[in-house]
Amino acid sequence: MARGTSRLQLACVAVAVALGLTACGSGGIKDNPSGASGGKDCGDLRIAVNPWTGYVSNAHVIGYVAKTKLGCNVTYPDVKEEVGWAGMASGSIDTIVENWGHPDLVKKYIDEQKSVEDAGPTGGKGIIGWYVPPWMAEKYPDITDWKSLNKYASLFKTSESGDKGQLLDGDPSYVTNDEALVKNLKLNYKVVVGGSEASLIQSFKSAEKNKTPLLAYFYEPQWFFSEMKLVHVNLPKYTDGCDADPAKVNCDYPEYNLNKLIAKKFADSGSPAVDLIKKFSWTNDDQNIVSTYIAKDGMSPDDAAKKWVDANPDKVKAWLG
Amino acid sequence: MTATQSGAVEKTTSEGTPALHVEGLWKIFGPKGDKIINTPDAQLSRKDLQAKTGHVVGIRDVGFDVAPGEVFVVMGLSGSGKSTLVRLLTRLIEPTAGTVELYGEDITAMSDSALLDTRRKKVSMVFQHFGLLPHRKVVDNVAFGLEVRGEKKGERRNRAQEMVDLVGLSGYENNYPDQLSGGMQQRVGLARALAANPDVMMFDEPFSALDPLIRRDMQNEVIRLHEEVGKTMVFITHDLAEALKLGDRILIMRDGEIVQIGTPDEVVGAPADEYVRDFTSDVPKSHVLTLKWVMRAPDGDPGDGPVLQSNQIVRDAARIVLDHDGPCRVADGDKLVGVVDDMDILRVVVAEDEG
Amino acid sequence: MSTATAPPPAPPDRTASASKEEQPYVELGKKRHTGAKLAGIGIFWLVMWLVFHNQMTRALGLQDTTPFHEWLNGIRDWVQLHGPDNWFFGGVLGFIGDFFNAVFEFLQKLVSIPAFPRPVPEIGWLGVVALATWVGWAVAGLRSTILVVVTMLLFGVFGLWQDSIDLLLVTIIAVVFCFVVGLPTGILMARSRATSAVVTPVLDIMQTMPPFAYLAPVALGFGIGPTTAIVLTCIYALPPMIRITEHGIRGVPDTTIEAARSLGLTRGQMLRQVQLPMARRTIVVGINQSMMAALSMATIAALVNGPGLGKDVNAALQIQNIGAASVAGILIVLTAIMLDRTTTAASERSESMGRSGVASVSGPGVMLAGVVLERLPRWATEEAGKGVRQPRLTSAGRWLVRGLWLIPTLVLVYFSRQQLILAQFPTRDDWPFLKYIDGKTVTKLVNDFSNWFIDKVDTFTLALKNDLTNWLINPLQNLLAESPWWTMALVLLAFAYVLGGWRPVVTTLVCEAIIFGTGLWNDTMITLTMTIFATVLVMLTAVVLGVAMGRNRRADTAIRPILDAFQTIPPFVYLIPALALFGASRFTAIIAAVAYAVPIATKLVADGIRGVSPTTVEAARANGSTKWQMITKVQLPMSRNALVLATNQGLLYVLSMVVIGGLVGGGSLGYIVVSGFSQDQLFGKGLAAGIAITALGVMLDRIARYAAERYGR
Ligand SMILES: Nc1ncnc2c1ncn2[C@@H]1O[C@H](COP(=O)(O)OP(=O)(O)O)[C@@H](O)[C@H]1O
Ligand SMILES: [Mg+2]
């Protein structure tokens, strides 16, 4: 009985302490001020996030600005590129902030369905290509020319490629002509799929460390270049239309002028964020800085964005002007 | 072979409606049981029918009457169809053919709702594995049948408590079944069956799962209850001793058929066939047989020994007969029907020791 | 003495009177020559391979498509264009979608995201923790409550409060839906053989189908976002709920049902008063299984923008941040353990529901029990029967006590609405001590450790991968994938026939036709190779571990919690270390699959070994069996049933993981599914790959099942 009573007291004390604590907590909760820009309410902004770090940088910098300067309620649905396009058409996504070409999708959604609009370039230049780790370029200087690839094919043999050389590819959603290239350039290689940006980076890291050969699909802008100077393998020069028929491609990837996309519905909504997205523009280097914060320094995308935005008030101002 | 085998009804109670009247009852297990019954296949033996059609004869052409207040025991080896039979009586298993009447009401022709009502009010059962609900307290288990038929909480609680007291479980009403021993659980089963105040109680090997000593207690309990409440009982067992102890009459089954119906002394004294004889060979005959079965015809002078009644059990009469020099007289009421001497008694007792 | 020979006495007619019991038929054993037949098939296969090597393999390039794939693309285009106006896509699916969306958003605003214009949700973290604590205590008791508190605090400490709560919300909505749909379905199936016969094959397919297979169609129907995540989760989590409910209702002993019938119960009364109460514990187990299944979908659902922790795992995998992936992974696992333990405790309690007041007012209630019990109103307590000393609470009384405890809970909820620090989980900026344990710290810790570790072992692990791949996987794959398609088709049919008789042959034939039709024969064979290889590894491991566990209580106590933990880890998390150690390859996918399937297979084997009757073991020991003989001659053969079942389950688990392994170099079908999901023109191909995976799963499952029926006795 006595035992029970003391426990009861204990419980009372615990509750009292809890209540006391809450009372000393920091201040009360006030409603959000809405629409800092003074104009219309921003409301929701749903920025698709595609699976590479550079993209994440674009998305969160725009998102951070929209949230803090325009009072938008920003969300970041993680979707692959094509799903993002479809999402803009169906109304579940408002914008894609780094688009790599996709002529087929442009035709379908922008030209035919007219459910998506081009929101102008990001300022970034996109390069896709085949890369080798630095030590290989040093040891085999001529490897940067595609013509000597067959000579070195046996170096790149792995358990996955059998008796051919291995060409490592990335995320299934990435734009790639690699299989057609291998075939049309008569290379003795087999395309092996790595799975993601992460696995490509991991592969390069371990190839450089262990001095093992590696030939892989990769792309710029890319924060990883600040950590390791991968060397581009030159394929036959890109000429207009040489990639018109996907099955007959025999030339390097074009240089992409990366652009932003915006859902028609959202563009017509009059949200102040529409202007922000259209005006947003920066360089590969800017993006790489933010990406490095995220991927290398392990910052959360929002913190990384904040850091960059705080350091570059002029650029941000131009987007809002 | 006896006359009772072909489903002919043996009327033992002359006046009034029997508590239970069964006639031409069949059960053939399997999807097409009702088709087979009208074909010659129905006459095949159980084994042959199974081999030929995959159907099993559970009960073949069974008929009997049970008088009100009687304890009617059905016995046979496992697989002989006892459980099937007792379930047919309340249509827990649908009969393939035949009729069952309960106090003149035809169970087999009843509508579903009438059948529910019969099960709720007129017949109740006690099962070998108790069939208690583990999530209900003892008293709620006992009251379950009453609850099902919609009685008010207060009333059914009172009635249930009475029953709990009646079966000697006072104090355990708030326990859960798994906190009780097997014997106690079966008492709960008994109380549940009694609670509905039914006209007929049916027991399907209720004590087979219990230890021998407990079993004896429970048998005595049934005898006591029968004396107190006087219900008609149909009692299934595979244990002849139990059958002899409890039964006013015994029905012996084999392969779904009736082999013999009779009082305990008839079954032991005049087994219908080898099967029954085999069964009864171990029974202490002096405990079962009445003088009727050991006496000789009173040829000549019956003498002047003490008069014993012909339905007296041999064991009970033995003392008197052995103490008396010369034969004793056996009478049925006032009428002299035979004589019995030491040798007649000893033959029964000694045969037993040898057996 | 007479010289005349007397006729010998007739032998007693044994058949008639040997025994009164019926004698069973004599079973005549048939020799099956399985080994010889298998060898025959093998020889045929090898010869065909030698002759037709690399011809007619039906290989299809990564970006190549077939008319069937184009046709599926056409359907997709149609749905995208006309879906919104269509009665089915826009109407039915649209309605379901809107409904789930609305429910989800409502709950999110309540507890996880800012409820505009408030900068925070309606109920802050403290309120949510308090409510969860109260629920945990009310249904499951003190120990689970502690687990709930710790887990939920970690949500916040690791800085993933919102995603963790979102995951809980998705799981809860999905499980509630599964319960609402699954319970009646299960009951119907238990009561009607016809319903059971119709629904069971549907459940079979739902369970054999790896989630990857229905990712794309569901996303097509519901768009991307929470709804799709919930629907995906429901598809995956519904079958266990239905199955276990059916099992529970059927599991009510016939004797009890019969006794109840004899009392004149109607069907409704039987259900409500007998079957449901008695199946209650099993049904709670169903909820538990359903929850675990739902959680394991978290990461897969994140591929279609499902909310919750899955997103964080995927994002971290993307940047190869093992630490960050682990933090989110740990939280998923903790969530799983929390829900698992809570529901398990709830089910155990529900069995003894209201048995003893001591159990049900345990924990904080104990404080009340001593003092207050006597003071509670009369209707709240009662004598607890003979042999149980304390008075106990009636069910009304239990709710009274729970109600009392709700008051402080609601007070905390109130405060969490008022104070920012109680609404938004504090970070290290608010509470500096958090910097020792928060998400960033743990992420760094894990990363440092894994970098150090991988650095030490990766030369070795890569060499291991290369050797095993070159010497075992590649030859097997060559045999399967470089034989002509018709050879493989025949070989599989022959295997099916030899192992399981003609019934699986029919299924195999149908499945082969489907796979052929999808145009992905060659990729299916590659997936099959990995599946077979991984399954063999799984069974080897499972037998070793399972025998140890089955024979030795201590080994069991040591290993079982690890297996439990492994089983609650969502599949993607397995990819993290595997990828780090073995690089992007088929072997990585295989290792992840093995890790994923070993727990279930091991448990089944262990249970099988333990199930061997102790009398038999004792008899064998009395005969002087050595330990080894005991295992190989008694315990393993006698648990053959369990072994077969373990193989079957292992196979299905492996298959679903091998497919996910497509993301880390596994290639073949899994990769095609994902690429179909990522590239416009590959949509149809991805969908076809999903179909092929399902067909492969059904085929393997059927062969294994019928083989089990034949050899498992
Ligand atoms: N549902 C059923 N389906 C098929 N055969 C049954 C069924 N129930 C009982 N039987 C068969 O009927 C015979 C009688 O069974 P039962 O009445 O249980 O015998 P008892 O109770 O005397 O042991 C047995 O051979 C049994 O196999
Ligand atoms: Mg029986």
Give the whole-angstrom CA distance, residue B96 versus residue B106: 15
Mean pLDDT, rounded, of chain B:
86
- Percent of chain B residues past pLDDT 70, beyond the cut: 94
Q: Which of A57-71, B131-145, C316-330 bottoms out in mean pLDDT, i.e. has the lowest? A: C316-330
Range(s) of chain C covered by CATH 1.10.3720.10: 30-59+457-711, 115-441
List alpha helices for A102-223, DSSP H: 103-105, 134-139, 178-184, 197-210
Give the DSSP H or E segment for C392: strand C392-393
Dihedral of CA A52/A57/A59/A63: which sign? positive
Q: Which atom of ligand 1 is nearest to the CA of B85?
A: 17
Question: Do B248 and B220 share a domain, yes or no?
Answer: yes
Contact predicate C596/C574, CB 8 Å: yes
Check pocket membership of B33 for ligand 1, CB cut-off 6 A.
no
Listed in sequence order, the residues at least 6 apart from A240 whose beta carbon sits closer than 8 Å to its beta carbon are: none
Domain extents in chain A: 5-124+259-320, 127-248
Q: Which atom of ligand 1 is nearest to the CA of B84?
A: 17
Which of residues A280 and B317 earns the better pLDDT score? A280
- Report the CATH number that the domain containing residue B124 is assigned in CATH: 3.40.50.300
Contact predicate C144/C341, CB 8 Å: yes
Check pocket membership of B208 for ligand 1, CB cut-off 6 A.
no
The string of DSSP letters for A193-231 reads E--SHHHHHHHHHHHHHHT----EEEEES-GGGGT---E
State whether A15 and C408 contact (CB < 8 Å). Answer: yes
State whether B171 and C386 contact (CB < 8 Å). Answer: yes
State whether B120 and C263 contact (CB < 8 Å). Answer: yes
Mean pLDDT score, A68-79: 86
- Please determine, looking at this structure, whether the domain spanning C30-59+457-711 carries the CATH number 3.20.20.100: no
State whether C260 and B131 contact (CB < 8 Å). Answer: yes
Nearest CA in chain C to B131: C256
- Would residue B176 be called left, alpha or beta, if left means φ above 0 and alpha means ψ between -120 and 50 degrees? beta
Mean pLDDT score, C258-270: 90
Cα radius of gyration rounded to whole Å, chain C: 29
Check pocket membership of B219 for ligand 1, CB cut-off 6 A.
no
Nearest 10 degrees: CA dihedral of A306, A308, A312, A313?
-10
Q: Which of C24-28, C130-134, C151-155, C697-701 bottoms out in mean pLDDT, i.e. has the lowest? A: C24-28
Query: Closest residue (by CA) to atom 2 of ligand 1?
Result: B29
Band (A309; pLDDT cuts 50, 70, 90) = very high
- 146-185 of B, contacting C, C-beta below 8 A: 147-149, 171-176, 179
Cα(A304) to centroid(ligand 2), Å: 78
Give the whole-angstrom CA distance, residue B29 versus residue B25: 13
Band (C679; pLDDT cuts 50, 70, 90) = confident
Q: Which of C43-52, C109-118, C351-360 bottoms out in mean pLDDT, i.e. has the lowest? A: C351-360
Measure in Å the smallest separation between the Cα of C371 and chain A Cα atoms: 6
3 state SS of B296: strand
pLDDT of residue A195: 62
pLDDT of residue A23: 46
Question: Do B183 and B210 share a domain, yes or no?
Answer: yes
Question: Do B203 and B280 share a domain, yes or no?
Answer: yes
Last residue of some domain: B284, B300, B321? B284
Listed in sequence order, the residues at least 6 apart from B207 whose beta carbon sits closer than 8 Å to its beta carbon are: B186, B214, B215, B218, B219, B237, B242
The pick from B45, B57, B73, B80 for probing ligand 1's pocket by mutation, whose C-beta has the most ligand atoms within 8 angstroms, reads B80
Question: Do B178 and B326 share a domain, yes or no?
Answer: no
Q: Which atom of ligand 1 is nearest to the CA of B93?
A: 1
Check pocket membership of B81 for ligand 1, CB cut-off 6 A.
yes
Q: Using the 8-state DSSP alphabet, how is residue C216 labeled?
A: H
Give the whole-angstrom CA distance, residue C674 versus residue A171: 9
Provide, as residue numbers in chain B, all residues whose Cβ is less than 8 Å from the Cβ of C20.
Answer: 77, 275, 278
Burial class (CB in 10 A: 0-12, 13-18, 19+), C386: middle
Provide, as residue numbers in chain A, all residues whose Cβ is less than 8 Å from the Cβ of C375.
Answer: none
State whether C678 and A34 contact (CB < 8 Å). Answer: no
State whether A199 and C320 contact (CB < 8 Å). Answer: yes
Cα(B84) to centroid(ligand 1), Å: 6
- Please determine, looking at this structure, whether the domain spanning A5-124+259-320 carries the CATH number 1.10.10.10: no
Q: What ipTM goes with this model?
A: 0.81
State whether C22 and B47 contact (CB < 8 Å). Answer: yes
Last residue of some domain: B284, B302, B319? B284
Cα radius of gyration rounded to whole Å, chain B: 23
Half-sphere exposure of A96 (CA within 13 A, CB side): 30
State yes or no: pLDDT of A133 exceeds 60.
Answer: yes
State whether A3 and C305 contact (CB < 8 Å). Answer: no
Question: Do B79 and B213 share a domain, yes or no?
Answer: yes
State yes or no: pLDDT of B185 exceeds 70.
Answer: yes
State whether A92 and C225 contact (CB < 8 Å). Answer: yes
Which of residues A63 and C710 earns the better pLDDT score? A63
State yes or no: pLDDT of A148 exceeds 50.
Answer: yes
Check pocket membership of B78 for ligand 1, CB cut-off 6 A.
yes
Dihedral of CA C657/C663/C664/C668: which sign? positive
For residue range A197-255, list pLDDT tens digits in order. Answer: 777 888 898 889 889 999 999 998 888 988 899 999 999 999 888 888 877 888 899 88
Query: Closest residue (by CA) to atom 21 of ligand 1?
Result: B83
Whether B293 is covered by a domain: the verdict is yes
State yes or no: pLDDT of C201 exceeds 80.
Answer: yes
Of the partner residues C262, C277, C386, the one whose CB lies closest to the CB of residue B172: C386
Provide, as residue numbers in chain A, all residues whose Cβ is less than 8 Å from the Cβ of C583.
Answer: 199, 202-203, 206
The tokens of C290 are what? 């359903």
Q: Taking Cα atoms as reference points, which of B153, B224, B145, B147 lies closest to residue B189?
A: B145
Check pocket membership of B80 for ligand 1, CB cut-off 6 A.
yes
pLDDT of residue A30: 64
Give the whole-angstrom CA distance, residue A86 versus residue A109: 8
- Report the CATH number that the domain containing residue B290 is assigned in CATH: 3.90.1280.20
Total residues belonging to chain C: 713
Band (C3; pLDDT cuts 50, 70, 90) = very low
Instruction: Please give the backbone phi and psi of residue A147, each rounded to the nearest 5 degrees, phi first.
Output: -65, -25
Instruction: Please give the backbone phi and psi of residue C427, each rounded to the nearest 5 degrees, phi first.
Output: -110, -175
Measure in Å the smallest separation between the Cα of A276 and chain C Cα atoms: 22
Total tally of structural domains belonging to chain B: 2
Mean pLDDT score, C33-42: 85
Cα radius of gyration rounded to whole Å, chain A: 25
Mean pLDDT, rounded, of chain C:
81
Residue B54 sits at the chain C interface (C-beta within 8 Å): no
Mean pLDDT score, C345-370: 52
Residue B181 belongs to domain spanning: 68-87+109-284
State whether C370 and A192 contact (CB < 8 Å). Answer: no
Question: Do B337 and B256 share a domain, yes or no?
Answer: no
Measure in Å the smallest separation between the Cα of C267 and chain B Cα atoms: 11
Burial class (CB in 10 A: 0-12, 13-18, 19+), C200: middle
Q: Which of C678, C681, C685 should one mutate to test binding to chain A, selecting the residue with the greatest count of A CBs within 10 A?
A: C678
Of the partner residues C314, C371, C474, the one whose CB lies closest to the CB of residue A78: C314
List for chain B the helix, strand, coil content (%; round to 5).
Answer: 45, 20, 35
State yes or no: pLDDT of B355 exceeds 50.
Answer: no
Provide, as residue numbers in chain C, all residues whose Cβ is less than 8 Å from the Cβ of A52.
Answer: 318
Mean pLDDT score, C293-319: 81
CATH architecture of A127-248: 3-Layer(aba) Sandwich (3.40)
Mean pLDDT score, A115-142: 92
pLDDT of residue C362: 42
Band (C318; pLDDT cuts 50, 70, 90) = low
- For the domain bounded by C115-441, which CATH number is listed? 1.10.3720.10
Last residue of some domain: B260, B284, B308? B284
Q: In this structure, which amino acid lies at residue A154?
A: S
For residue range B149-184, list pLDDT tens digits in order. Answer: 889 999 999 999 999 998 889 989 888 888 898 889
State whether C415 and A22 contact (CB < 8 Å). Answer: yes
pLDDT of residue A5: 41
Band (C401; pLDDT cuts 50, 70, 90) = confident
Question: Do B298 and B279 share a domain, yes or no?
Answer: no
Whether B225 is covered by a domain: the verdict is yes
pLDDT of residue A234: 92
Of the partner residues C278, C383, C387, the one whose CB lies closest to the CB of residue B179: C387
Give the whole-angstrom CA distance, residue A88 versus residue A277: 15
Provide, as residue numbers in chain A, all residues whose Cβ is less than 8 Å from the Cβ of C304.
Answer: 79, 83
Which residue in this structure is represented by tokens 């549907």?
C202
Cα(B77) to centroid(ligand 2), Å: 9
Q: Which of A160, A178, A192, A290 should one mutate to test binding to chain C, selecting the residue with the greatest count of C CBs within 10 A?
A: A160
State yes or no: pLDDT of A32 exceeds 80.
Answer: no
Mean pLDDT score, A20-28: 48
* Ligand that comes closest to the CA of residue B81: 1
Using CA atoms, how far residue C537 sits from B253, C91, C498, C555, C651, in Å, is 59, 48, 23, 21, 11
For residue range B29-83, list pLDDT tens digits in order. Answer: 988 888 888 888 888 888 888 888 888 999 999 999 999 999 999 999 888 999 9
Mean pLDDT, rounded, of chain A:
83
Q: Which atom of ligand 1 is nearest to the CA of B80?
A: 22
The string of DSSP letters for B1-46 reads --GGGGT-------SS--SEEEEEEEEEESTTHHHHTTSGGGGS-H
Question: Do B193 and B266 share a domain, yes or no?
Answer: yes
Q: What interhelical angle do C668-678 and A81-90 show, nearest 10?
A: 40
- 5-24 of B, contacting C, C-beta below 8 A: none
Mean pLDDT score, C421-450: 85
pLDDT of residue C368: 45
Give the whole-angstrom CA distance, residue A277 versus residue B224: 94
Give the whole-angstrom CA distance, residue A306 versus residue A297: 14
pTM for the model stands at: 0.78
Question: Do B322 and B193 share a domain, yes or no?
Answer: no
State the count of interchain CB pairs (< 8 A) between A and C. 220
